[in-house]
Structure 1
């Protein structure tokens, strides 16, 4: 245990400008006296530790000292740090914190904090603007279930609003477009399915194990991913120039064709689910569905239902 703590403290010191003895004692749940002895041991091992007194005091490694980088250049190490920090934003895990400390230790403080450093130029944050605590709880439970091959049971609401109890063999956690999914074998559907974590309720990790099915994450093709509703529409949409910025934000450039009159034509595939009509209605009269006809008719019907709803309410 002492050796592990000494290594961890060394990585922290190599990765940070300065850290106080009390912060280290709190982090490793030991006494200040133990931290003082650890510092003496690290210094005796050949890593030059400098101590500073006062309010802003603490310990730090001599500026020019660094570990052997072996085959990685400073730029490559900085790229690794940026990627790891992006993962750490949405995946709170002590192992990632430890990796960040170790990788950061391969750079000097001046290399990390230089205005020319890649770590100062790029920030990757996969979190949505609304940080939902229940998603993190589900992530933690599902990760444990995946690691130990435990079945999970939960209530799931599909795209049509139907709610069913599912028993699933969890296989992977997937973060795509700021949305977390769990990929696994659903006993109800008897097939592999993708479950959106925000639609999961009453998640339970069972104490019953399962035999993991053959599976490789790299083989996943999200364009044909099995979902609860597999029908897709080939949409042709015409947007008013007033919503150009929003269209550019929400659709890929290859799907957008800007017309001479400033209108935007969009051709895209979209699953046949209620969210499609909610999305189109949010553009109001700034969008026209050119094809398919059934989507245009359904959109008109939904709009008429809204008008009828408020005609009734406002009488």
Structure 2
């Protein structure tokens, strides 16, 4: 996109006093004429660039004009580049690596000094996720509707969405936008979407509210649960809920207390713990879970 190229040109000029048009054209894989138009656009935006001719000529920021280079410190730039590096793990390409090279032009230490951090956002579903992410990214940029079949706990439905955000949260990828069917903003999990298509139909951007999907909002704590876990499940409780979520009894067993959003979440958690947990409260869920366990036993007898 043009705006990305303009930002990239400015980034290079901030790190190198002078560069040539052919150099920029090669870096961004465009013609010299395109670079000349970009330079004009940057000047129109109020940043004075100077072009000089001759053997030592090139493009530079006007002497005496100051752009605060400390807006992004080296540490902050490293954090950005680490994030960009992680995006390649999703797409399976190296296009973000190429962008990193451009951003770090003239300062290769930025690329290497933070190499002790690795973020891998890929998943077992990488082959089907990457095309969805690419399609949704393009639709967001072009302000195009997307449609898809969605499979959720309440069943299957077809949706038409104004996409506004791609979100990586709770170890999964989602798209957030305005659902025309529900006439409200909704969050959809990409792995539950099939028959995803971008329509050749543009939407007018709304006044979008701030995205807020904190755990308490997405999964409001409605059910207080007490359970007794075997001692060898301590690692699981610490990983999922923290050290403060349980107390150790004299016999070594762990009294776990937490809140869940719905009975299904409680039952899923109990089943995942197998015979290493006993639900104590609430009593009504204990009775319901016992009935469920009896049905499961009948299936396997």
TM-score normalised to structure 1 length: 0.65
Aligned mates of 1:100, 1:83 — CA distance in 2: 10
Structure 1 partner of 2:203 = 210
For structure 1, the residue ranges without an aligned partner over 5 or more in a row are 15-24, 30-43, 47-67
The answer as to 2:253 corresponding to 1:263 is: yes
The answer as to 2:187 corresponding to 1:194 is: yes
The answer as to 2:142 corresponding to 1:152 is: no
Structure 2 partner of 1:243 = 233
Structure 2 partner of 1:308 = 298
Residues 109-161 of structure 1, C-alpha deviations (whole Å, 9 max, x = no match): 5x754xxx3x2322222333x2431111111111222222222221111124x
Deviation at 1:175, TM superposition (A): 0.3
Aligned mates of 1:158, 1:176 — CA distance in 2: 17
Cα 1:295/1:221, change in 2 over 3 Å: same
Residues 159 and 273 in structure 1, CA contact (< 8 A), matched pair in contact too: no
Residues 69 and 106 in structure 1, CA contact (< 8 A), matched pair in contact too: no
Residues 212-233 of structure 1, C-alpha deviations (whole Å, 9 max, x = no match): 23224454444213x8xx7842
Residues 222 and 259 in structure 2, CA contact (< 8 A), matched pair in contact too: yes
Aligned mates of 2:143, 2:283 — CA distance in 1: 46
Residues 281 and 299 in structure 1, CA contact (< 8 A), matched pair in contact too: no
| CA root-mean-square deviation | 3.6
Cα 1:289/1:165, change in 2 over 3 Å: same
Aligned mates of 1:112, 1:206 — CA distance in 2: 39
Deviation at 1:163, TM superposition (A): 0.8
Residues 159 and 274 in structure 1, CA contact (< 8 A), matched pair in contact too: no
Aligned mates of 2:192, 2:263 — CA distance in 1: 15
Residues 263 and 285 in structure 2, CA contact (< 8 A), matched pair in contact too: no
Deviation at 1:237, TM superposition (A): 2.7
Residue 282 of structure 1 aligns to a residue whose secondary structure is helix
Residue 123 of structure 1 aligns to a residue whose secondary structure is coil
Residue 121 of structure 2 aligns to a residue whose secondary structure is coil
Superposition misfits of 4+ residues, deviation over 6 angstroms: none
Aligned mates of 1:158, 1:278 — CA distance in 2: 16
Cα 1:257/1:69, change in 2 over 3 Å: farther
Greater mean deviation of Cα atoms: 188-197 or 274-283? 274-283
For structure 2, the residue ranges without an aligned partner over 5 or more in a row are 16-25, 31-54, 58-66
Deviation at 1:78, TM superposition (A): 3.0
Matches within 5 A, 1:104-143: 104-108=104-108, 112-113=111-112, 117=113, 119-128=114-123, 130-143=124-137
Aligned mates of 1:250, 1:45 — CA distance in 2: 61
Structure 1 partner of 2:100 = 100
Structure 2 partner of 1:60 = none
Aligned mates of 2:115, 2:181 — CA distance in 1: 48
